[in-house]
Chain A
């Protein structure tokens, strides 16, 4: 009876192992159990390499564990098996060293061929400079005069569980990277502060973005759609909140999009030429604050002392004497602390409105306004 139980367990384990691996391999990739085949020629190659190597592993496990379970069963003590005591067997050792060597080489040959393709960034038709920031991506279309930030757009309430989570929870952005179909796109990756990594599984691109270095990668999408990804290098407290969205569209749509981005940039710059009202500044400022400042200073300006100071009711944001210091802090940041300089990254209208917002929200009520033109003149933009 006991003997049968043991045999049963052995076979069950073996069966579970095999069933588990078959399941993992066959399961519909859209459920997220397996890596996706993706939408580029390279990503499909990567996928088939992954599956080939997976099946090699399954075959090896079946042989190795099969031999193990069979020896356990056929040479069990209750049948009077006596263990052999011997030391080394050169032939066997040579065989079990040579076989893995051959398997590794067999796997390395197609893998190297694919890697070569992945590294060949030549003859790209579009160059996009991708810069990682804590915690957003910036896309600059080289030679196109188009540059913008891509921020996560998942509402804070969904993150805190106050609202039901959407379909694209944590993988949606305000401004996606848009690329045309059928064109080889080269991305040049770097970072502004710490190491980030740009990862979009459907494009089979996962590359570090390192301050002071430029890494290259490329992709060519044939199927229209939105492909999502995330930062894949632990980069600080909002590392999980800097997703990537790549939107592949037909060429005409891409051209129209480029034109609309240029128009938007012109309109943004023109914003600094006129007087803004308090309401306009406050409304714009609230949006800028939530996107760029709330991660550290918190939505209600309460901060996270002692690292991130509160802005509500204390410090330069409520002090009528320190308006200039406040502007300088936001425009130039403070070196040696986590407070970034926003003068280069935000437009004058954004800087002016967020400062106005901080000086008047949460009961700060200083009544101070900062006009975009003032920031523009200060920064010489």
Chain B
């Protein structure tokens, strides 16, 4: 699970090592990545909205 989160964050950042990539592609199903990806995208949006809200204060 932690590995999945790390990989999704690496994907957001745009850089991933070859070793981790190989490991990720061993996963039996992509669903974990998709679900975590959507969840973290939502978290990202909330962070951006929060920063914008703070800046507007």
Contact = CB atoms under 8 A, between A and B. Distances in A.
Contacts of B35: none
A306 B18 CA distance: 66
A112 interface: yes
Q: How large is the interface on B (under 10, 10 to 19, 20 to 34, 35 or more residues)?
A: under 10
Q: How large is the interface on A (under 10, 10 to 19, 20 to 34, 35 or more residues)?
A: under 10
Interface stretch (B9-17, B26-34, B39-47): B9-17
B55 A112 contact: yes
A93 B56 contact: no
B15 A94 contact: yes
A90 interface: yes
A88 B15 CA distance: 10
B55 A97 contact: no
A88 B18 contact: yes
Nearest to A96: B15
Contacts of A88: 17-18
A116 B56 contact: yes
B55 A116 contact: yes
A97 B10 CA distance: 11
Contacts of B18: 87-88
A97 B15 contact: yes
Contacts of A97: 13-15
A107 to B, nearest CB: 14
A97 B16 CA distance: 12
A87 B17 CA distance: 11
B6 to A, nearest CB: 13
A112 B56 CA distance: 9
Nearest to A109: B55
B15 A90 contact: yes
A103 to B, nearest CB: 16
A305 to B, nearest CB: 54
Contacts, number: 15
A105 to B, nearest CB: 10
Nearest to A101: B13
A124 to B, nearest CB: 19
B55 A93 contact: no
Contacts of A94: 13, 15
Contacts of B13: 94, 97
Nearest to A95: B15
Nearest to B14: A97
Interface string A70-105: 000000000000000001101001100100000000
A143 B5 CA distance: 59
A88 B17 CA distance: 8
A87 B21 CA distance: 14
B52 to A, nearest CB: 9
Contacts of B15: 90, 93-94, 97
A161 to B, nearest CB: 51
Contacts of B55: 112, 116
A90 B13 CA distance: 12
Contacts of A116: 55-56
B12 to A, nearest CB: 11
Nearest to B16: A90
A93 B13 CA distance: 10
A87 B56 CA distance: 45
Contacts of B17: 88, 90
Nearest to B15: A93
Contacts of A112: 55
Contacts of A93: 15
A94 B17 CA distance: 10
Interface of B: 13-18, 55-56
Interface of A: 87-88, 90, 93-94, 97, 112, 116
Given A94-B13, A116-B56, 12 more contacts: A88-B17, A88-B18, A90-B15, A90-B16, A90-B17, A93-B15, A94-B15, A97-B13, A97-B14, A97-B15, A112-B55, A116-B55
15 contacts: A87-B18, A88-B17, A88-B18, A90-B15, A90-B16, A90-B17, A93-B15, A94-B13, A94-B15, A97-B13, A97-B14, A97-B15, A112-B55, A116-B55, A116-B56
